[in-house]
Chains A and B, each alone.
Chain A
Amino acid sequence: SQQGEEDPQALSIQEGENATMNCSYKTSINNLQWYRQNSGRGLVHLILIRSNEREKHSGRLRVTLDTSKKSSSLLITASRAADTASYFCATAFYDKVIFGPGTSLSVIP
């Protein structure tokens, strides 16, 4: 399966700390996308990294991609209580996008 698998499944940190989530996948991709989902709501796109890119930044977010290891990481720096949410990686190959089961992040004030 091409599905991404996030690690860890759940993460709890103090406000101000950094949070790192990892995603591993199995087959070829065109790009890898990260999404956030607040409790009971729809997903919000955070960042897309193409297969020929190694690192991308957006505000407090930093995403890396290692296609040789078929893995990606999402780093959220200086976390805030409002970052509490589930985070999903999605592997994309042409029109096929497959979501992983997600990492649940809790940021404690």
Chain B
Amino acid sequence: DVKVTQSSRYLVKRTGEKVFLECVQDMDHENMFWYRQDPGLGLRLIYFSYDVKMKEKGDIPEGYSVSREKKERFSLILESASTNQTSMYLCASSLAGGPYEQYFGPGTRLTVT
């Protein structure tokens, strides 16, 4: 059974803290994605990666960075968390050469106070 896991289901951080969200997939997928989901706005792409050490900015990359040192792991970093980054963060993966369907993790609900 295919699986995408995220390091935390719920996270509470203070303004200014550095936050790491980790995502691991076991499907040997080339592509990995980070989205944030806010009510009424759907999913918005923050960053995606199509290979190890490769990354592309999505629609809302400001305030975020990513790291992909291994094929199965894709990390999202909030360098200095702000209250407007309170959101649900979803990681996904897919095969390359598509577009193919994406497999999602359970999500991390981040609250920045």
Contacts and interface: CB of A to CB of B under 8 A. Distances in A.
Interface of A: 3, 30-31, 33, 35, 40-45, 48, 88, 90, 92-102
Contacts of B99: 30-31, 92-97
Interface in B88-113: 88, 90, 92, 98-107, 109
A102 to B, nearest CB: 6
Interface of B: 4, 31, 35, 40-43, 45, 48, 50, 88, 90, 92, 98-107, 109
Contact of B109 (A40, A45, A90, A93): A40
Given A94-B98, A101-B41, 12 more contacts: A33-B101, A35-B104, A41-B106, A42-B92, A42-B106, A43-B92, A95-B99, A98-B45, A100-B42, A101-B40, A101-B42, A102-B42
